A = this chain, B = another copy of it.
Amino acid sequence: MTSANWAVGKIAKRAGVKVSTLHFYETKGLIHSYRNAGNQRRYSPDVLRRIAVIKAAQKLGVSLEEIRQAFADLPDNRTPTQDDWESLSANWRNQLDARIAYLERLRDYLTGCIGCGCLSMKKCPLYNENDQLAAEGDGPVILDRNGTPD
């Protein structure tokens, strides 16, 4: 069995997070601890890698809830092996690619919109991209010349 005798303060220091964060991650089901005779948390060193995965995923823009689900999908909830991490990262990489692509599209629109005066709510993709509003019916519309109500 893995040695599980690290106290929470030691783990926190090594991982570069606060003790309260570890408590919090535990309540969220992201990490796990054992208890010693005095009811204090003791950790297997595996938890450090798990925290590293959490922190890395957060940088990719993955929420704790998504991370929790990814961890939960691991067979019997164990700490990810290298293979597990590979599939997690492949998954998250797709999300990252999508986010990058989205921002790049915005950047292009932003460039295109400079000086074109197209920042009218209905036409400009900067405003409407990914909005259902862009369709028909109510929602953003272009102002008429004189801007009178009704």
The answer to whether A114 touches B89, judged by C-beta atoms less than 8 angstroms apart, is yes
- Contacting B at CB under 8 A, from A114-149, are 114-115, 117, 119-121, 124, 126-127, 129, 131, 133, 138-141, 143, 146-149
Report Cα–Cα, A134/B13, bound state, in Å: 13
A131 to chain B: which residues have CB within 8 Å?
A: 16
A98 → B minimal CB distance (Å): 11
The answer to whether B55 touches A127, judged by C-beta atoms less than 8 angstroms apart, is yes
Question: Is A97 at the interface (CB under 8 A from chain B)?
Answer: yes
Task: State the main secondary structure of chain A at its contact with B.
Answer: helix
| Residue in B closest to A59 when the chains form the complex, CB atoms | B106
Question: Is A49 at the interface (CB under 8 A from chain B)?
Answer: yes
A107 to chain B: which residues have CB within 8 Å?
A: 93, 96-97, 100
The answer to whether A110 touches B96, judged by C-beta atoms less than 8 angstroms apart, is yes
- Contacting B at CB under 8 A, from A27-62, are 44-45, 48-49, 51-53, 55-56, 59-61
The answer to whether B52 touches A119, judged by C-beta atoms less than 8 angstroms apart, is yes
The answer to whether B100 touches A103, judged by C-beta atoms less than 8 angstroms apart, is yes
Task: Kindly list the 8 A-B residue pairs having the minimum CB-CB distance in the complex, ordered from nearest.
Answer: A45-B147, A56-B126, A16-B133, A16-B139, A16-B140, A6-B149, A52-B127, A100-B103
